[in-house]
Structure 1
Amino acid sequence: MSIFKRLESNVRGYCRSFPTTFTKAQNATLRDDKGNEYIDFLAGAGSLNYGHNNPQLKTKLLEFLERDGMLHGLDMHTDAKERFLEVFEKRILSPLELDYKLQFTGPTGTNAVEAALKLARKVTGRTNIVSFTNGFHGVSLGSVAATGNSHFRDAAGTPLNNVTFMPYYGYLGDNIDTLEYFEALLKDNSSGLDLPAAVIVETVQGEGGVNVAGIEWLQQLETLCQEHGMLLIVDDIQVGCGRTGDFFSFEQAGIVPDIVTLSKSLSAYGLPMSLVLMKSELDQWEPGEHNGTFRGNNLAFVSAAEAIEYYWGDYQLSREVKRKGELIQERLQDIADSIIDVDLEVRGRGMIWGLACQECPDLSGKITEAAFKRGLIIETSGTDSHVLKFLPPLTIEEDLLTQGLDIVAESYKAVLEDEVIMKELGLITSE
């Protein structure tokens, strides 16, 4: 791996946690150049909800390549885009009675967020955006301005303006209504809060530590936005596309955001693709006013259309996600209850879960190291990387899911029984 260290920038991150060279992947299994196998609880940071090299999707992609289908077309009409639009309308928009226009942005999630914020400002004529504590929306300048974590904000190298942060659900404790605080500021002309163009929110904050917003809180937020003429943007980049059990993470709350951003698992195959959904009356762009060379990834249209047609034609996948999610939750609670050295909090929805350790933030990093040695890929999240984050493919085989959870339990046991590590973590004192 010396060539990576010699030539690749220091900015590389995940490879430091998983120091091997991967050569093959299938569904929830990875293999490296030494023949080792790993269970994948990372899933491309949520980009591979349908697993690695899904055979149903691979077949369609190979057929498209074999017939010399048009791969790059800017925003021109192509048959691949046409089919995606038809399938998305039939399987997603129409059943949910959603009147959205679709904007294809640059290929990454942050491109979609940038477009959404820009559109909100254009439509309302206001500049301020409200985001929430621990929110993560990307690292390009507009998106990172709406991102809470100082690790990302400090790297911007320039002032990050026109975003005001409000406390997320539960941020100030269980007994404090954070939206009541937000509403008080909106109603007070001396609060110093400029009336926002929009509010951007994640229903589940993935990178922020698997913080789950309450259903009533989301409903109240929608009402608050409507009362004050603010657009509601739901960033569904990581927890959309089935991650919480429904295609959109906000379905359970029964809300209808003004704007939705999608990416990551939208293409269903790990191919770069992003999308902004906007209520029809908000589509006030002039032709070419917001563009990008790679805003039409036709190969991604092929896999995305096939995934939606295949997996969202009925509720089978949705039921499986919810069932597996209950299995994960139950097992994680067992692990938390069995550990006496530290307090672990189980949090999540669907198939995104976390084990949080506030009193010893470095513990989760030690668990990822121990898990990797035992054949499991799993990452951390949260302000201090204090949350062990579970993000397996939705299609993971149940026996592999169980094996992965067993490895997590074994890793906690091994770490907490290692006197050297315990001293390093400050959980026991040296004599």
Structure 2
Amino acid sequence: MNITVVGTGYVGLVSGACLADSGNDVLCLDLDPAKIDTLNSGGIPIHEPGLDQVVARNVAAGRLRFTTDIDEAVAFGQLQFIAVGTPPDEDGSADLKYVLAAARNIASRMTEHKIIVDKSTVPVGTGDKVHRAVTEVLASRAVNIPFSVVSNPEFLKEGAAVDDFMKPDRIIIGINKGDDTALDALRTLYAPFQRNHDKLVVMDVRSAELTKYAANAMLATRISFMNELALLAEKLGADIEHVRHGIGSDPRIGYDFLYAGCGYGGSCFPKDVKALIHTGQVDAGMDLHVLKAVEHANDLQKHVLVNKVQQVFGTDLTGKHFALWGLAFKPNTDDMREAPSRVIVNALLTAGATITAYDPVAMDEARRALGVLTGLNYAKTAKAALTDADALLIVTEWKEFRSPDFRLMRSALKAKTVFDGRNLYEPRAVRDQGLTYHPIGRAG
């Protein structure tokens, strides 16, 4: 099939590359010439394990191309995937200007039936807005061209997105009743990704749009719930890791997203929780009390490591120097959006401290996101970050941090103290190495 993907960000590039890998001809459109130049020269503008090989393989095979030409992109694909950003507006709502602009661009150039697929994360009712925008543009052209609008939300985890796309646990299709042409096309498109059993879940457009928000909101809720329990565990002398095993073994609960830490971040959970709260308030006239609590708990959790540091070293951290391991919001990505490290770095610097930070992947993105901050420096290795530090803060659970040289750590850190925001180590094992250890919600 000929497929156009509008947007070469995280969702668009992964989707386009994986659809090409199953034999489709894919043309990816982006209005950022620098991004398209990077892709056409063999570069990848985002860090995602395995994506570079998939892109290179399909570019070489001629199945994947990149362009800034809107006319070419609209003419190319029967299926037009909209995978542009929906950044949060000032009121927390999702900004749909890029989605609607893409829809109008399609409508202003289409000459035959097109299936417009909303792949971006969008609030309930966006499909109606896209349909209305296309209808208005076609009317202004005085043409009557049939088209379909479908919701096909993505469920890709950063750091495992290629695998998630290739081996989905479900494929949500939101479609208007009776639109058999669009449904048949999407069944054909996704057939290679569900050889063992049918993973298509077909529903109305509004339900599909809400499903995406509901999924992310549920996962964010689990994280904030465990983070709050971790704080309670500390007060009561319990160990949150034991609690996690105890409740995760219940099949009704499971283990996923039950790890206590220093808060969630990234491009999805913070934005989508805010957007769903806004949808409830503005579109439905109701307060989503649970999600407001989830958001509040997460905001507080991002300060937990700093609070622990100040309990040990005092509120005035002037003259104190800290090593910080991990800047990205999670491992296997360079994404700094809403990363807990941003809150932690700014709070420590504001209190007078200096920091040397290290991340295996996100150093360049951190420099861009954080800007030039007096007192913040970067190290080339995790060990180098420890030089002259009073204590170490672990913010992201990269694999290379899981088995450090504790003897070197003890000799390097002046105060021989570790603040672990991801509970990477067994408390007793660390303390047996002569280090003072402050995890999240764990007994000694």
The one of the two structures with greater contact order (alpha-carbon pairs below 8 A, sep at least 6) is 1
Greater C-alpha radius of gyration = 2
* TM-score normalised by L of structure 1: 0.32
* TM-score normalised by L of structure 2: 0.31
Normalized per residue, the structure richer in helix is 2
